[in-house]
């Protein structure tokens, strides 16, 4: 069943609307309303298959054709400069389908000027190798008796099992890539809504300074605050779908350092790194990778002082040092922290 389903995707027939280019000047050429399909829409080399080709047409969809004269299904071996030969036909004289080829096993059809007209043939592959380009032609008359023709084409070509499985692998890769693209686009849409509606996070717009984008992350520096509390600051950043600043590289350190120096008039700016519970072993809470190398001030980190948080500070020449996880500025409002918020690529 998997092979059959995927074959349908691979060899799904492509119907091409068209008109008969060798029609006489008395014929009226119109946009096609003819439908032709093949069941199953795949043929695998070496696998016996009963193939059904069916042509359908509803005259009510083409009001300018007042009566149907005939339906014909023809076939050409080649799709490039095809030469068609009639296989089956039906006309309004006797109303019976006629088999015009010994390779066709079953034919059926009917003409109904008030409903749906059909013409169908069946053959068994590979006993009858009727692959190629099929054409269904509907002929009739318009209101003043001029001939009208409508036709449609469908291509039926066999494929090998090897080609089929190669296609399956390609299709799976394409589907996976498409899913990733769709998911990324959805994230972009979601983030666009968040970042462009100040009413969603009013405090993000009023209480923070925003940086430029750096490696798909944006940094938000608080305006001066009186009290810093590590736990509360982390919760606030998470509310914005981010986290307290986590420095992972020297490039990121320099970017944030320059951002702080341009904006902040405060004396200390906290990050998210901590050695609380593991003295001297500094990690980030959101991405707790071991062995991070921070650009510490020359005397830092100082162990055993009861300070387990990290900050940029004027006292450390705006490099990183150890700070208390709770700080009360005594109404000086000289403290701040940075929220790091990822933004998707759009």
CA-CA distance, 136 to 16, in Å (whole number)?
11
Of 149, 125, 132, which Cα lies nearest the Cα of 27? 149
- Select from 3.60.15.10, 3.40.50.11720, 3.30.1330.180, 3.10.100.10 the CATH code of 199-342: 3.10.100.10
Q: Are strands 208-214 and 320-323 parallel, antiparallel or unpaired?
A: unpaired
Band (161; pLDDT cuts 50, 70, 90): low
Is the bond preceding residue 126 a cis peptide, omega within 30 degrees? yes
CA-CA distance, 125 to 154, in Å (whole number)?
17
Does residue 160 contact residue 3 with C-beta atoms inside 8 Å?
no
Mean pLDDT confidence for 148-161 = 85
Q: Give the per-residue pLDDT at 116.
A: 94
Res. 43: pLDDT tops 60: yes
pLDDT digits 0-9 by tens, 100-132: 998 998 899 999 999 999 999 999 888 778 889
Mean pLDDT confidence for 27-31 = 39
Domain with CATH 3.10.100.10 in the chain: 199-342
- Select from 3.40.640.10, 3.40.50.300, 2.60.40.10, 3.80.10.10 the CATH code of 34-160: 2.60.40.10
Res. 257: pLDDT tops 50: yes
- The full length of the chain comes to 346
CA-CA distance, 202 to 52, in Å (whole number)?
64
Does residue 150 contact residue 136 with C-beta atoms inside 8 Å?
no
Res. 91: pLDDT tops 90: yes
């Amino acid at each position: 069943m998997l092979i059959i389903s995927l074959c349908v995707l691979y060899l799904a027939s492509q119907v091409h609307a068209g008109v008969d280019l060798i029609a006489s000047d008395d014929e009226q050429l119109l946009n096609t309303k003819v439908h032709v399909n093949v069941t199953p829409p795949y043929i695998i080399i070496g696998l016996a298959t009963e193939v059904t080709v069916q042509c359908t047409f509803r005259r009510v969809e083409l009001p300018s054709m007042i009566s149907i004269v005939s339906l014909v299904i023809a076939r050409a071996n080649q799709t490039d400069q095809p030469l068609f030969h009639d296989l089956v036909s039906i006309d309004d004289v006797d109303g019976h389908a006629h088999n015009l080829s010994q390779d066709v096993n079953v034919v059926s059809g009917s003409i109904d000027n008030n409903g749906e007209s059909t013409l169908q043939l069946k053959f068994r592959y590979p006993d009858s190798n009727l692959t190629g380009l099929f054409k269904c032609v509907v002929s009739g008359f318009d209101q003043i008796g001029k001939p009208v023709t409508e036709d449609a084409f469908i291509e039926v070509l066999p494929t090998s099992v090897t080609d089929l499985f190669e296609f399956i692998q390609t299709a799976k890769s394409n589907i996976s890539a498409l899913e990733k693209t769709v998911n990324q686009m959805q994230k972009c849409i979601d983030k666009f809504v968040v970042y462009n509606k100040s009413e969603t996070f009013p405090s993000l717009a009023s209480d923070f300074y925003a940086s430029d984008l750096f490696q798909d992350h944006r940094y938000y520096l608080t305006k001066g605050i009186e009290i810093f509390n590590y736990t509360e600051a982390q919760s606030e950043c998470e509310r914005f779908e981010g986290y307290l600043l986590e420095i992972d590289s020297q490039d990121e350190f320099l970017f944030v350092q320059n951002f702080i120096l341009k904006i902040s008039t405060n004396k200390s700016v906290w990050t998210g790194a901590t050695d609380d519970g593991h003295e001297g072993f500094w990690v980030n809470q959101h991405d707790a990778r071991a062995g991070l190398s921070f650009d510490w001030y020359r005397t830092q980190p100082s162990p055993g002082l009861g300070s387990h948080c990290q900050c940029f500070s004027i006292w450390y020449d705006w490099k990183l040092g150890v700070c208390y996880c709770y700080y009360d500025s005594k109404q000086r409002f000289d403290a701040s922290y940075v929220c790091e918020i990822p933004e998707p690529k759009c």
